[in-house]
Amino acid sequence: MIGMNMEDYEIVLSARADGRLTAKDYINGLTTDFMELHGDRLYGDDRAVIGGIGLIQDIPVTVIGIEKGKNTQERIEHNFGSAGPEGYRKALRLMKQAEKFKRPVLCLVDTAGAFCGIEAEEHGQGRAIADNLYEMSTLKVPILSIVNGEGGSGGALALSHADRIWMLEDAYFSVVSPENCANILWKDTGKAADAARALSLTAQKLFKAGLIDKVVKSGDMKGLASDVYKELHSLMQKSTENLIDDRYRRFRKVGY
Amino acid sequence: MEFRKFFLKANNELEGGSILPRARRITCKKCQKQVLVSKIRKNYFVCPECGNYFSVRCRRRALMLCDRRSFRELYGELESRNILDFPEYDNKLAAAMEKSREKEGVICGEGTIGGIRTCIFAMDANFMMGSMGAIVGEKITRLFEYACDHSLPVVGVTVSGGARMQEGMISLMQMSKVSAAVKRHSDKGNLYVVLLTNPTTGGVDASFAMLGDITLAEPGARVGFAGPRVIEKTLNQSLPKGFQRAERVMECGFIDQVVPRDKQKEVLERILKIHSICR
C-alpha cells in the first residue's frame, strides 16, 4: 500500500496533485445512467458541488461530489473545489430527495476546505455545514462517503456524516491544513511536514485510530465499484432504526 | 503569593484590560479609562464608562444565568489527554488550566433559570481560546443526552476559536458527535437556546452554535466560520465594517436577537417560561 511508506506530507501533496481523478471520474467509473441535478432551491447553484442520480448496478443512488476540475477553466468553473453554503444546501436537498425515494447516498469528498469569502459568510457558511451534520445524523437511507483527495476540515466533514467513511490510500483528512497548522504553532509554514505528521491525517493512521472504516487502493476503479456495491447492498439490509442508531454510535464513540 | 493569586484572578476575569494592583482598578482597553473592578463586576462585566464587553469566565457565566445557588456542575471530572502525542500540547493544556482555573474549556451542569429546571453549558475563552477537543465535545454531548433523557431544555453559551488542532481528526469529528446529540434532543421536542458570545467561530460555529431553536448573541460578538484575517488574505481586500459582528449576522438572518448582558437572564427566563407552558 502506498500509505505505508510515504511520508505523511507527501500524501498531502499527492492528494492535491494535478492529474488526480476528480469526482466526475468516480461518478463515471462507479455509476451508469448518471444525470446531474442542479441548484439548492433557495438561492443558487454552487458548481463546486455536483450532484445527481444514477445507478450502481441495480441500485438507484444519489451521488454528491465536490469537484475540483482538471484544467484552469474547469477549476475556475468549480471554484477550485471550495463550496459555499449554496453547495452544502444543494447537497442536503439531494440527500432529502434520496430519503424520500429510499435510495442510498454516495458522497465523494475532495476539498481543501469550505470557501472563505464575504458572501459565503453572510449566506451562512457555518449554518449550512451545521445543518448537514444535523440532518445527515438521522437521514433514513444509507450514506457512504469516500474521501478521494483532500479532506479539508469542516468543508469536507459536511459531506462525511456517513455510515461508512472510506479514504483513498493517498488521500488525507484533517482538522486544519498542515501549512496553516505550522503557521499557527511555529509561525513557519516550512514546518508543514512536521505538522502533517503530528496531525495524524493519513488514511492509514485514521483507519488505525478507528476514525474511518476502509482504506481504498488507488487506481482500481473496478475493485472500488464492486466494494461500493457490496457495502451499499449490505447497509440497505439494515432496518431504518438500526441504521440511524449505528450511525449515532459511530460518531458517539469518537474521542472518548 | 496571596497578592499574586489576586492579580491572576482579577486578570483572568477581566481580559481586555491591564491590571493596576493597589487601586484595584483596570484600564479598559477600549476607552483607556481606569475603572474600578468592583464597578465592572456590578455592571455584568461591562465597562461602565464605554460599554466595552469584558470576557466572562465560564463558571461565572453559568452563575450569572442560573438562579442563586441552583447550579450543580456535571462531568467536571473529565480532563483532556494528549491523545496524538502532539508537540507542546501537554504544556499548553497545563498553561490553559492555570490561566482558566478549569479542567477544560467548557463547564456543564444543571440548574434553574426563573425557577425552570435547565441544563447549561458555557465555554471559556481562557482555555485555549475555547477550542473544542474530545473532552469539550464529550461533555456537551453528555449534557444533551442527559437533557434528552430527562426532557430538559438546554441553554448554551458559546465562545470558541473552533476545533482544537492538537487533537487532529478526533476534534473535528466532535462537530459531528455533538450535532447528532443536538438532533436527538430536538427530535424529542426539547428546547435548545444558544447564546453566541465573542468570538464564536470555526468548527463550533459550523456545528452546535448554529443549531439552536432560538439563537441569541451578545452585542458586537464576532460570529462566523472563517477567521477574518484568513478571508482578507484569500480575497486580498479589507472587510466591510461590522462584518461577522452579531448585529450584521442578525441582519443576514442567522440570529434571533442581540441581547445586552444585563438583560440575558430575563430574556432566557421568558423563553423558558413560554416553552414550559407549551410542553
Give a yes or no: residue A151 inside a domain. yes
CB of B36 within 8 Å of a chain A CB? The answer is no
Q: Which of B169, B186, B248, B255 to mutate to test the interface with A (most CBs of A within 10 A)?
A: B169
Answer yes or no: do B163 and A175 touch at CB < 8 A. Answer: yes
Answer yes or no: do A153 and B203 touch at CB < 8 A. Answer: yes
pLDDT interval class at B19 (50, 70, 90)? very low
Three-state secondary structure of chain A? CHHHHCCHHHHHHHHHCCCCCCHHHHHHHHCEEEEECCCCCCCCCCCCEEEEEEEECCEEEEEEEECCCCCHHHHHHCHHHCCCHHHHHHHHHHHHHHHHCCCCEEEEEEECCCCCCHHHHHCCHHHHHHHHHHHHCCCCCCEEEEEEEEEEHHHHHCCCCCCEEEEECCCEEECCCHHHHHHHHHCCHHHHHHHHHHHCCEHHHHHHCCCCCEEECCCCHHHHHHHHHHHHHHHCCCCHHHHHHHHHHHHHCCCC
Answer yes or no: do B183 and A161 touch at CB < 8 A. Answer: no
Closest CB from A117, A127, A153 relative to B210: A127
Give a yes or no: residue A252 inside a domain. no
Partners of residue B177 in chain A, C-beta under 8 Å: 251-252, 254-255
Partners of residue B137 in chain A, C-beta under 8 Å: 254-255
Alpha-carbon distance values, B253 to A102, B93, B116, B180, B210 (Å): 33, 37, 29, 23, 12
Q: How far is A121 from chain B (nearest CA, A)?
A: 6
Closest CB from A116, A124, A138 relative to B226: A116
Q: Residues B27-69: pLDDT tens digits?
A: 898 999 999 988 998 999 999 999 999 999 999 999 999 999 9
Give a yes or no: residue A11 inside a domain. no
Contact at 8 Å (CB) between B162 and A230? Answer: no
Partners of residue A121 in chain B, C-beta under 8 Å: 224-226, 231, 243-244
> In the CATH scheme, what is the code of domain B56-278?
3.90.226.10
Domain residue extents for chain B: 1-54, 56-278
Contact at 8 Å (CB) between A143 and A158? Answer: no
Q: What is the pLDDT along chain A (256 residues), one digit of tens a residue?
A: 444 456 999 999 999 999 999 999 999 999 999 999 999 999 999 999 999 999 999 999 999 999 999 999 999 999 999 999 999 999 999 999 999 999 999 999 999 999 999 999 999 999 999 999 999 999 999 999 999 999 999 999 999 999 999 999 999 999 999 999 999 989 998 899 999 999 999 999 999 999 999 999 999 999 999 999 999 999 999 999 999 999 999 999 999 8
Whole-number Å distance between alpha carbons of A165 and A145: 5
Name residues 149-178 of chain B within 8 A of A (Cβ): 163-165, 167-177
Strands A49-56 and A32-36: antiparallel
Q: Residues A116-171: pLDDT tens digits?
A: 999 999 999 999 999 999 999 999 999 999 999 999 999 999 999 999 999 999 99
Whole-number Å distance between alpha carbons of B247 and B187: 30
CB of B133 within 8 Å of a chain A CB? The answer is yes
Tell whether the model's pLDDT for residue B8 goes beyond 50.
no
Q: Which residue of B has its CA nearest to A172?
A: B169
A248-252: long-range contacts at Cβ-Cβ below 8 A with a sequence spacing of 24 or more?
A248/A137, A248/B180, A248/B184, A250/A163, A251/A137, A251/A161, A251/B173, A251/B176, A251/B177, A251/B180, A252/B141, A252/B177, A252/B180, A252/B181
Q: Domain containing A53 — which CATH number?
A: 3.90.226.10
pTM value is 0.94
Grid cell locating A144: 457512504
Answer yes or no: do A255 and B135 touch at CB < 8 A. Answer: yes
| Coil, strand or helix at B142 | helix
Give a yes or no: residue A16 inside a domain. no
Q: How far is A42 from chain B (nearest CA, A)?
A: 14
Name residues 144-173 of chain A within 8 A of B (Cβ): 153-154, 157-158, 160-161, 173
Give a yes or no: residue A12 inside a domain. no
CB of B2 within 8 Å of a chain A CB? The answer is no
Q: In terms of Cα–Cα distance, which of B165, B160, B115, B105 is closest to B135?
A: B105
Range of the domain at A64: 22-171+202-246
ipTM entry: 0.95
Answer yes or no: do A255 and B174 touch at CB < 8 A. Answer: yes
**Mean of pLDDT over chain B:** 91
Closest CB from B175, B187, B239 relative to A118: B239
Answer yes or no: do B226 and A129 touch at CB < 8 A. Answer: no
Question: What's the pLDDT score for residue B1?
Answer: 41
Answer yes or no: do B187 and A138 touch at CB < 8 A. Answer: yes
Give the residue-averaged pLDDT of B238-252.
95
Q: How far is B234 from chain A (nearest CA, A)?
A: 7
Name residues 7-36 of chain A within 8 A of B (Cβ): none
> Helical H runs in B68-117?
89-100
Question: What's the pLDDT score for residue A256?
Answer: 83
